[in-house]
Amino acid sequence: MSEKKKQEKKKQPEWNEKAKEIWLAGLGALSAVEEEGSKLFRSLVDRGSEFENKRKEQIDELWEDISERYKTAENRFGDKFDEVEETVESNVKSIVSRMGIPSRSEVEKLSKKVDALNEKLEKLEKQQKPSGSAKGGKTKS
């Protein structure tokens, strides 16, 4: 055998061994990443859960505070709003009255009176037609 072939045969086991080591190192890295990734994932889930709980507590406290403030404001100003509403309504009624614009109840009363008058007129017209046609036939042109 030539010298070159002898050296190549010596290098082949070396290369095979190195390739195997590289392969195993890659598998080890993959295993470590998988293991650490799983730990990291669990750690992130735990931290996220803690964060969510803290924020939920803060939101609940804020909601309670806002509710209490709303109730306080409602108690302080609720009666005032009613008074203002009544005052505005009274003022509007007064202005409408001064302008001569009839109220709803006045319009309804007037409408009922007009309906009653219309009924009486219809009765009178019915009474007038028979006697009116007889007279109309007797008159000379």
Cα distance between residue 21 and residue 12, in whole Å = 14
* Domain extents in the chain: 13-125
Cα distance between residue 47 and residue 64, in whole Å = 26
Reported as a single tens digit per residue, the pLDDT across 27-75 is 888 888 888 888 888 888 899 999 999 999 999 999 999 999 988 888 8
Res 4 pLDDT > 70: no
pLDDT at 78: 75
Res 123 pLDDT > 50: yes
Residue 1 in 3-state DSSP?
Answer: coil
Q: What is the mean pLDDT of the chain?
A: 83
The residue assigned the tokens 């109730």 is 71
> Residue 122: enclosing H or E segment and its boundaries?
helix 104-138
